[in-house]
Amino acid sequence: MEVKPPLKLPKASLAQQCEGIGWSLIDLPAQKHDKRSWSIDGGTAGLPEEVVGRMYASSGAHVSFCEGGSVLLLMKAAALETLAKRNTFSDRSDAIARYLEAQLTILTEHTTEIVETVRSITPDALARNVNELAENSTLRSFFPRVDPEFMLELYKQMGSDKLADLLLAFSVAPYDYRAGWPDLILLSNGSMKFIEVKTSDKLLDTQLRFANGIGKPMGFDCGVVRLKVIKS
C-alpha cells in the first residue's frame, strides 16, 4: 500500500508546515561556524542535532540521536520470537540482522501474529531480546548510536500495548515509514518527545508522511527546534 505524503505545498514555510501537522516550532539562537557546525551559548560545536541533543541532556533528559533507530529496533526486539519462527530461512540470526521493514513485507500475512507477539511480551523477555540485538555486529554497524539502555527505558515509557499499536501502524507501509523519523527522542520525567532539528530547510515529504501516518495517529508529542544564527 502506497502512502502519499500530505501537505504537498511547495511554498509552505516551515512554520506553516508545523501548524498544519500540529507540531511545535521553537527558534533557538545559536552560533554558526560552518555549514554543519553550530554551537549554543558558546558550548562545544557540533552537528545541529548533536548540539540540540546535548542541550536537552544537560537539563536531565535521556536523549537518543538515531532518527527512529531506537524505536525500530525496539519493535524488532519485541517481535523477535515470531520473526524468528516465521523466518524464511528458519534462521534467528537472519531475523535479528534483517531490516524490520523487509521482514514485515515478507511476512505480511503474519502481521496479526507479529503484533500480538509485541503486545504479549514480558519485560524480561524483551530485555533478553534487546541484549541479543545489541550483541549483533551487523546491527551495531547499521545503528551505531542505538543504546540498549535507552531502548528499555523507551519501552517502560510506551508499554507493550502502545508499542504493538505502533508496529501495526508501521506495518501498513513499512518501506515508506522507515524514513522521516525526527532526529531526537527525548525521555524526561515520564514523558516522551520527538524533536526534529532544522537550520534553514523545511520538513521533507518523508517527515510529513511520518507526522500524519505515525506521529499524529499515535498521539506522539513532536516538535521542531530551528537553530537561528545570532547576528553580530
**Total domain count, the chain:** 2
Cβ density class 109-119: b for 16+ within 10 Å, e for less: ebeeebbebbb
Write out pLDDT tens, residues 149-204: 999 999 999 999 999 999 999 999 999 999 999 999 999 999 999 999 999 889 99
Number of Cβ within a 10 Å radius of residue 186: 21
Q: What is the pLDDT of residue 68?
A: 92
Taking only Cα atoms into account, the Rg of the chain, rounded to an integer number of angstroms, comes to 18
User: Mean pLDDT over all residues of the chain?
Assistant: 94
- CB contact set of 67 (below 8 Å; sequence gap of 6+): 181, 182, 183
Question: Is 47 in the same domain as 132?
Answer: no
- Sheet strand arrangement including 24-34: 37-39, 24-34, 222-229, 191-198, 184-188, 62-64
- CATH code of the domain in which 219 resides: 3.40.1350
Question: Is 20 in the same domain as 56?
Answer: yes
Q: What is the pLDDT of residue 20?
A: 96
Question: Is 45 in the same domain as 59?
Answer: yes
Question: Is 127 in the same domain as 153?
Answer: yes
Q: What is the pLDDT of residue 231?
A: 80
Please tell me whether the overall predicted TM-score, pTM, comes out greater than 0.85 for this model.
yes
Write out pLDDT tens, residues 2-51: 665 555 555 799 999 999 999 999 999 999 998 889 999 989 999 999 99
Q: Is 202:13 a contact under the CB 8 Å cutoff?
A: yes
> For the purposes of burial, counting CB atoms within 10 Å of the CB of 65, is it exposed (0-12), middle (13-18) or buried (19 or more)?
buried
Question: Is 32 in the same domain as 60?
Answer: yes
Does 90 fall in a domain? yes
Q: What is the pLDDT of residue 10?
A: 59
Q: What is the pLDDT of residue 11?
A: 78
Does 5 fall in a domain? no
Write out pLDDT tens, residues 58-116: 999 999 998 899 999 999 999 999 999 999 999 999 999 999 999 999 999 999 999 99
Paired strand residues for 37: 34
Cβ density class 7-32: b for 16+ within 10 Å, e for less: eeeeebebeebbebbebebeebebbb
SS3 content of the chain, % helix, strand, coil (to 5): 55, 15, 30
- CB contact set of 43 (below 8 Å; sequence gap of 6+): 51, 54, 55
Does 7 fall in a domain? no
Q: How confident is the model over 139-158, as a mean pLDDT? A: 95
Range of the domain at 146: 68-179
Cell of 195: 524533536
Does 148 fall in a domain? yes
